[in-house]
């Protein structure tokens, strides 16, 4: 009978310690994931910044007609990362909408 009581007491103590330590474990896990995120950002950078350089290279190698078409399409700040309505981004003429890029 005494081993049953000791097992119950030991289970209660372990459950109490687990409940007490839970917030500390959650904080440690959260800090771990934040550190991993920071490491990935420092090592690889954000993907959102890499396209700018590639587009700058394309823009530099465009012809004048392609640049004019590009400015008409994206000159008002519309693009994949900007929030504007379709009425703001539509070109005024109904010619071929491709830029050849």
pLDDT in tens, 65-99: 888 888 887 766 555 555 555 555 555 555 555 66
Domain range for residue 84?
Answer: 49-89
Residue 101 domain flag:
no
Residue 95 DSSP code: S
pLDDT in tens, 25-46: 889 999 999 999 888 888 876 5
Let me know whether 39 and 1 are in one domain: yes
**What average pLDDT is seen over the chain?**
76
Let me know whether 3 and 41 are in one domain: yes
Picking from 93, 48, 51, the residue whose alpha carbon sits closest to that of residue 73 is: 93
Residue 95 domain flag:
no
Q: What is the pLDDT of residue 81?
A: 55
Rounded to 5 degrees, what are φ and ψ at 12?
-65, -40
Let me know whether 7 and 29 are in one domain: yes
Residue 59 domain flag:
yes
Let me know whether 24 and 64 are in one domain: no
Count structural domains, the chain.
Answer: 2
Let me know whether 26 and 41 are in one domain: yes
């Amino acid at each position: 009978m005494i081993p049953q009581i000791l097992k119950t007491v030991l289970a209660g103590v372990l459950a109490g310690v687990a409940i007490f330590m839970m917030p500390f474990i959650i904080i440690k896990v959260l800090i771990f994931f934040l550190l991993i995120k920071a490491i990935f950002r420092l090592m690889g950078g954000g993907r959102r910044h890499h396209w700018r350089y590639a587009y700058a290279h394309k823009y530099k190698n465009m012809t004048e007609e392609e640049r004019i078409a590009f400015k008409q399409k994206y000159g008002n700040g519309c693009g994949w990362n900007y929030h504007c309505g379709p009425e703001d981004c539509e070109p005024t003429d109904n010619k071929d909408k491709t830029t050849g890029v």
